[in-house]
Amino acid sequence: MSFQDEILVIGGGVIGVSAAYYLARQGRQVTLLEADEICAGASYGNAGFILPSHIIPLAAPGTLGQGLKWLLDPESPFYIKPRLSLELISWLWRFRAACQQQRMRRSMRLLRELSHRSIELHQELAGLQGLDFGFQKKGYLKLFKTSQGYQKANAEAGLMREFGIEARMMNQAEIREVEPNILPGVSGGLYFPHDAHLIPADFVLQLGRVIEDLGVKIRTSTEVLGFETAPAKILTVKTTRGNFKPDQVILAGGAWSPSLADDLGIRLPIQPAKGYSLTFKRSANSPSIPVMLSEAAVAVSPLAETVRFAGTLELAGWDQSINQRRVNAIVKKAGEYLPGVEGLELAEIWRGFRPCLPDGLPVIGRSSRYKNLILATGHATIGMALGPVTGELVSQLAAHETTQINLTGLRLERFS
C-alpha cells in the first residue's frame, strides 16, 4: 500500500512511538513531534508489566471503598489532593458510575481482546532483528499475606477463569517453585503463567530507532502549542519549532493530552495520576519474575541488572513533588514480603503521570469533530502493555480500514 498523505503523531511515549511504527510499516510518511525527548513521560520508569491477565479496569466494584480507606493513611498507595476542581469532581463522579459490576464486565471483555492482541505484537517486536528490550514471558505472581488478600485473590481467580484466563492459586510451597525469594509472612499467591514483562525505556527507545530507520522524522524538543482549524478539519499544528500542515493528526500526548485537546474544543476527561518507581541494583535475593505485593499495591519487576518497585496513585493534579513518606512506604512494605530489600543500592527514584480516564479504558478512535484527527490516549495503568495494539489500531484507522477490534466502546463519545 502506498499513501501520499503525511501523518503527524504528537507524543513520543510508548503510544506515539508504537503508532508511528505501524503507520510507517504501512509505507506512510510520518513525523513524530515530542516536546522533550523520546520516552520522557510515563513510559520511562513504569514497571514494564505486560499482563494479558490484567483485564480488571481501574474502575471496578470495591475500588472506591478501598480508596476511601487508604485516603486516611499518609503511607497508603492512594491519595487525592483536596482541592476545588470541577474537572476532578466530575472525574470522580464518572469513576463512581463506572465502578459497577456490569460496566466492569463490559470493560473486561474489551481489555481481554486488546491485551491478547497486544502481547502477540509484543512478542513479534521482541523477535525483530537487533532489538533486545528484555521481553520475557515468565508469568506474573500476586502475593498476599492476609485472609482478606486470600479472599480477593480467590475471587479474582474465579473471575479470570470465567474470562478464559488461566489463574492458579498457590500455597507457599508452590510459590517457592516459581519464585523462591519470598518471606515466610507471605501466605499465598495467585499465578498467571502467560504474562510477561520488559524494560520499558529500552522498548520505547529501541522502537524509536526502528521508526527512524523506517523513515519517520522524529522532532524532539518540539512542543505543540496549538492548532488552526477549519470546520471539521485540523489545518495547521503550531509548535515551538514551526508550523506543520499534516493530512492526519494522531494525538498521543499521554497525561498532557487534555490541554492539547482543549485548544481544539475537545474535552478529554483525563486526570494525571502520579506514580513512583524506585530502581535498585539487583541482588541475589531479588525476584526473578514480576510480582505484585497485593495488600501494599506495590509492583516489583526484575529488569536486567536492576529490580524496580513501583506503586502509588496520587490524584494531585500536576504536582511534580516526590512525597518521601509514600516513597519510603513502598520500600518498607516491600520488605514485608521479600528478603533483603533494606540493603539494596538505590539507582533512581522516578515519578510519572498516568493518563487516567474515569472508566479505566483508553480512548482510541477517530474524532467525531475533526475528520483528520485520531485520539490514542488515556491508557492509565496499562499503556506499556497496550502500546503495540494501540499502534496497530491507529494505523488501521488512519487507512480508513475496518479495525481488527471493534472500537465502539473506546470512543470518546462514551462520556457524552
Binding interface with ligand FAD (CB under 6 A): 10-16, 33-36, 40-43, 46-49, 223-224, 252-256, 260, 275-277, 299, 310, 352, 354-355, 377, 379-385
Looking at the Cβ atoms of 15 and 316, the one nearer to ligand FAD is 15
Looking at the Cβ atoms of 35 and 249, the one nearer to ligand FAD is 35
What's the rounded Cα separation, in Å, for the pair 96 and 223? 34
Looking at the Cβ atoms of 248 and 381, the one nearer to ligand FAD is 381
User: What is the closest distance, in whole angstroms, from the C-beta atom of residue 84 to ligand FAD in the complex?
Assistant: 25
Report which DSSP code applies to 327.
Answer: H
Concatenate the DSSP letters of all residues of 148-173 into one string: HHHHHHHHHHHHHHHTT---EEE-HH
User: What is the closest distance, in whole angstroms, from the C-beta atom of residue 366 to ligand FAD in the complex?
Assistant: 18
What's the rounded Cα separation, in Å, for the pair 139 and 52? 10
Looking at the Cβ atoms of 48 and 67, the one nearer to ligand FAD is 48
Evaluate whether 371 touches 233 at the Cβ level (below 8 Å): yes
User: What is the closest distance, in whole angstroms, from the C-beta atom of residue 278 to ligand FAD in the complex?
Assistant: 10
Query: Which residues pair with residue 80 across a beta bridge?
Result: 315
CA dihedral for 403, 409, 412, 416, sign (positive or negative):
positive
Looking at the Cβ atoms of 227 and 337, the one nearer to ligand FAD is 227
Looking at the Cβ atoms of 149 and 360, the one nearer to ligand FAD is 360
Looking at the Cβ atoms of 189 and 388, the one nearer to ligand FAD is 388
Residue 86 cell numbers, joined: 470541577
Indicate the pairing of strand 29-33 with strand 6-10: parallel
- Beta strand extents in 115-230 (DSSP E only): 140-144, 168-170, 188-192, 196-197, 217-219, 224-230
Largest Cα–Cα distance in the chain? 65
User: What is the closest distance, in whole angstroms, from the C-beta atom of residue 130 to ligand FAD in the complex?
Assistant: 23
Residue 96 cell numbers, joined: 463512581
Size of the chain in residues = 416
User: What is the closest distance, in whole angstroms, from the C-beta atom of residue 240 to ligand FAD in the complex?
Assistant: 8
In angstroms, the Cα distances linking 290 to 70, 114, 157 are 24, 21, 18
Looking at the Cβ atoms of 269 and 383, the one nearer to ligand FAD is 383
User: What is the closest distance, in whole angstroms, from the C-beta atom of residue 93 to ligand FAD in the complex?
Assistant: 23
User: What is the closest distance, in whole angstroms, from the C-beta atom of residue 372 to ligand FAD in the complex?
Assistant: 18
Task: Assign 49 to helix, strand or coil.
Answer: strand
Task: Assign 221 to helix, strand or coil.
Answer: coil
Task: Assign 364 to helix, strand or coil.
Answer: strand
